[in-house]
Amino acid sequence: MRVLENREPQRVLFYFEELTKIPRESGNEKAVSDFLVEFAKENKLEYFQDSAMNVVVKKQGSKGYENHEAVILQGHIDMVCAKDKDKVIDFKKDSLEILVDGDFIRAKGTTLGADNGIAVAMSLALLEDKAAVHPPLEVLFTTEEETGMGGASNVDGSLFNGKTLINIDSEEEGEFCVSCAGGVRIKFHQPYKTVKNTYSKTYEIEIAGLTGGHSGIEIHKGRANAIRLLGRTLESLSKDIGIVKVDGGEKMNAIAKRAKAVISANRDLTEDIKELEKIFKNEHLTTDEKLEMNIREVEKESEMMNTSSANRLIDVMLLMVNGVQSMSAHIEGLVESSSNIGVLSTDKDEVVFESAARSSVESLKKKMIAQFESLASLSGGKVVLESDYPEWPFNPDSKIRDLMKSVYKDMYGEEAKIMAIHAGLECGILKRQIGDIDMISFGPNMWDVHTPNEHVSISSIERSYVFLKEVLIKL
């Protein structure tokens, strides 16, 4: 007996259970892509499969809806594969072990893949259902969403006639996402020259214990960035020290929780560091209560940065764009533009900063890039841009948003929440690939995605599926 048998919505859960049997970690999607192709063949539906393993399946409109404008449904077929430490599984070939826990579906010791398997399952159930009422459907299944949205970047926009796209990749029922930020990774290379180290002592100074967080989701919370604090530390001590090297952070899109510098001096700097720790802790009492600064003497280094190189480095650390730059005028509380200094490292002849800049307004993203480039021009540095992806701007005249709000109110008697995220979604890229389409994102309740505790509500899946079918009828 199937784990999800005799539960509603039956065909959605049937296809979701089928997906849990197919390995589909990002980069390993061929099997699930071929599964979708076979589904289309069996149901005599038009399909396209591209070299990126994206699949498009088309279905004619139901009786009376044949000549209506097509609607694009979209979700991604890959998943994040994570497991408990003691779980034995080969994600390249093994099925997931799923179970029902009250109203929830879970996997035993692994991620579940409801993100975004639920979108795939809902779409397959609709494509199969000959009794469903809907306009022509163009269903897009994309790959590698979890590792950089590579599938969406390879979509052929000429395959689509629809001007409305419903993305089924949100994680809270009753919330409709209508905008996301675009972004770019910025690497800032600051060269330096060295001289003989003439100081008598060498110290390692560390800033640690910070809260950190995701730079797209938590940048507005005022949390300390350890790399920025390190710059202030070096500026405070600059008259008495020589800089040997600096490093900090872990990921470009994470607020740096730690940073350290190796410096040389002719005196004991312990009291200076204690005083700076008091200042920084006072500034971040509510956000970083575990902030600490440590200093220890280490083996003397033979070389250090020359004075002009050290001064330019400190200027860059103090002036580099970091934190919230603007707030949205359309959605209360939404960060519109931000930048985060995520990683700092010292190479043989240069210090490298890695930042993630985000904005839901393209011109403001370009403004931040220009600020980085201007700083590099002044400091003798160099800026390199990577992984530039487009924003999904808020559309004040969105018809699909207004329709879905109206349907939700009629069905459930309450207002849906309209929200946006300060992070990247496939919608921004798809708008670039397909053209000027009206988009929205929704989905059922799920929790702890990307972790072995990932779980999704069965009753919410049912409500979301019924809601989607009603929206298609109204379209």
Q: Catalytic site residues? A: 78, 145
Which helix H or strand E contains 421, and what residues bound it? strand 417-421
Q: Which residues of 70-89 are buried (b: 16+ CB within 10 A; e: fewer)?
A: bbbbbbbbbbbbbbeeeeeb
**The residue to which tokens 């487009």 are assigned:** 390
Which helix H or strand E contains 241, and what residues bound it? strand 241-249
Beta strands 323-327 and 164-167 are unpaired
Q: CA 253 to CA 224: how far, in whole Å?
A: 14
Q: Which of 361, 397, 330 is closest to 164 using CA atoms? A: 397
Q: CA 164 to CA 180: how far, in whole Å?
A: 17
Which amino acid is it at 456?
V
Question: Could you tell me the end-to-end alpha-carbon distance of the chain, in angstroms, rounded to an integer?
Answer: 38
Angstrom CA distances, 112 to 54, 173, 416, stand at: 21, 18, 27
**The residue to which tokens 């509380």 are assigned:** 333
User: Got the DSSP string for 130-192?
Assistant: TT---S-EEEEEES-GGGT-HHHHT--GGG---SEEEE---SSTTEEEEEE-EEEEEEEEEE-
Let me know the angle formed at the C-alpha of 438 by 436 and 444, rounded to the nearest 5 degrees. 140
Q: CA 257 to CA 24: how far, in whole Å?
A: 32
